[in-house]
Amino acid sequence: MPTALPRPARQASPVSPASPVPRVSPIPPVRLVPQDPQWLHDFYMTADLLLAPYHAAWAARRNGVAENIAPAWPPGLDGLTGLDAPGALDAWSAVHRAFPAPLRSRRFLYGTDQDPAHGSRLRAPSGRRLVPLHPVAVEERDLRTLDRLRRAVRGAAKVRPSYAVTQLPDGRPQMQHLPGPADYVGTLDRTLAVLTLAPDEDADLLAAALAPARLGEGADEGAGADEGAGTGAGRRLDLSPQEYAAYDRFANRLAQAATTGDSPAERALFRSRY
């Protein structure tokens, strides 16, 4: 009887390491930002009056620059703690980069007394020009960083008085303003209130209506391609009655946010332009 040949041992199949699942970054929600110099003034002053000078003063001292030649702290913020100077400035810069071309230029700020709807290509069903709104994708982490800045400044304002009672030469008391964190609270509040307006059905409808594709624009169409329904050359965009109703409701929320801390009269004046 023939001898059976030994069967080769079964080799285990090589175990291939599991393919890493690519991490997909969440798409930031689209928010609507107005092409309005009044609100843009607050946005830019957040950097120009607070973030940029604070970072310059902080960085100089961190790098050992002598106190007598280091940049001065912004008035009233020399003792502020809990502020991530580079992180806050970077977050503001990231939001600024997300803006469309017309909003990224400070030249637009010089028209603060001009009707923000002047030259707008966005129209109501009646044909009336409307203040342009721009869909902007802003990262939540940047908004959280700016909100931490706002809370740090508000907290400091509660413990550092903005006014002191002094005496005139004749002995009468007078109120004297003291530079301090409270000077920046309104600017920060109004800036963040608009940027953090929660998306809703109206905002989603308007974001779709104001998409560059509807305006016949694309990413490679030159300088005007990033203007959306703003001013300048481009296709006129007439909102439908449904879209205009959404615009009108959103304008109510926008006016509330952009005039945070202001009087009802100032809020009504802001809203009247929309």
* Residue 76 maps to a domain: yes
Mean pLDDT for the chain overall: 82
Any domain includes 95: yes
d(CA 215, CA 237): 7
Residues with Cβ within 8 Å of 234's Cβ and at least 6 positions away in sequence, in order, are 121, 215, 216, 217, 224, 227
Total domain count, the chain? 1
Q: Has residue 73 been placed in a domain?
A: yes
Give domain status of residue 198, yes or no.
yes
Using one digit for the tens of pLDDT, what is the confidence trace for 193-219?
A: 999 998 899 999 999 999 865 655 544
**Span 218-240, pLDDT tens digits:** 443 333 444 555 655 568 899 99
User: How many other CB atoms sit within 10 Å of the CB of residue 132?
Assistant: 25
**Mean pLDDT (whole number) for 83-107:** 93
Q: Give the residues across from 163 on adjacent strands.
A: 177
Task: State residue 178's pLDDT score.
Answer: 67
Where in the sequence is the domain holding 177, given as residue range(s)?
A: 30-113+124-212+233-272
Does 15 map to a domain?
A: no
Does residue 227 sit within a domain? no
Determine which helix (DSSP H) or strand (DSSP E) holds 243, and give its type and residue range.
helix 241-258
Q: Which tens digit of pLDDT belongs to each residue from 167-195?
A: 677 767 767 666 788 889 999 999 999 99
Calculate mean pLDDT across residues 12-31: 58
- Asked if the structure places residue 217 within a domain, the reply is no
Q: What is the pLDDT of residue 75?
A: 87
**27 pLDDT tier (thresholds 50, 70, 90):** low
**Does a structural domain hold residue 228?**
no
Which SS3 state, helix, strand or coil, does residue 149 take? Answer: helix
pLDDT at residue 114, as a whole number: 72
Cα–Cα distance measured from residue 114 to residue 95, given in angstroms and rounded to the nearest whole number = 25
Of the pLDDT bands very low, low, confident and very high (cuts 50, 70, 90), residue 30 is: confident
DSSP annotation of 254: H
Note the pLDDT of residue 215: 54
- Tell me the pLDDT band of 25, cut-offs 50, 70 and 90: low
pLDDT at 18: 52
